[in-house]
Amino acid sequence: MINDIYFQDFPQLESERLIFREIIISDASDIQSIRTDKDVMKYMDSNPHTTVQDSKNFISKNIETYKKGNGLFWAIIEKSTNTFIGDFSYWRILRENHRAEIGYTLKPQFWGKGFMKETMIELIKFGFNNLNLHSIEANVNPENESSKKLLHRLGFRKEGYFKENYYFDGKYLDSEVFSLLEVDFKHS
C-alpha cells in the first residue's frame, strides 16, 4: 500500500550536495527558464512554457496532483548556493500497482556534474523505502541517449518500444518505456 503519510506533509529530502523541497508557485521563473531552453526541450515532447503564467499553471496542476495523493513534485536545490537547478517528480502514481512514473529536468549549466544521478538515487530510494513503490517507470524519447544511459546505470530496463504512440506538434512520435524494480536498483 502506498504510504499516505507523505501526502499529509510534503517530504523534504537531501543528499550530499542537494536539497529536494516541494515545488512552489514562486519557482515559476526557474521552471520557465528550464522549459524554454531548446536543449532541455529537445526531447521533452511537450510545449515550452512561453510565459511565467504557463509555469505557474504547470506548478498549480502539480500541487493539485499532490493534494489528490497522485504525485509528488520536488524542486532540486544546489545546497552551497541555494540555487534552483531542476525538478523531479513522481507525477503519475498508480496506487493499485504500487508503480509511479517519473519525470525530471535539469538546467543545462548543471549537466555532466552528477546532479541528476544524485537526485535519482535519493528520490528513487525514497520511492522504494518510504513511499512503498514496487516499480518505477520512465517514458523516454528514443533519441535521448543521456537519459537512457542514466536510467541503465541505475538498473532500469527497457520494457518496450512504442512506434508512433504519441502525437505532438503535428507528428506521431515513438517512445521507449523503462522500468525499475526495487531488487534491480543500483545506487552506488
Domain regions of the chain by residue span? 4-136
Sign of the torsion formed by the C-alpha atoms of 31, 34, 37 and 41: negative
Q: In the CATH scheme, what is the code of domain 4-136? A: 3.40.630.30
Q: What is the per-residue pLDDT across 89-107, written as a single tens digit (0 to 9) for each?
A: 999 999 999 999 999 999 9
pLDDT at residue number 143: 93
Q: What is the per-residue pLDDT across 33-58, written as a single tens digit (0 to 9) for each?
A: 999 999 999 998 899 999 999 999 99
pLDDT at residue number 95: 95
Sheet arrangement for strand 83-94: 13-14, 18-22, 72-78, 83-94, 99-106, 135-140, 171-181, 157-168
Q: Which residues lie closer than 8 Å to 170 by C-beta, 6 or more apart?
A: none
pLDDT at residue number 169: 85
> Going by DSSP bridges, is the β-strand pair 99-106/135-140 parallel, antiparallel, or unpaired?
parallel
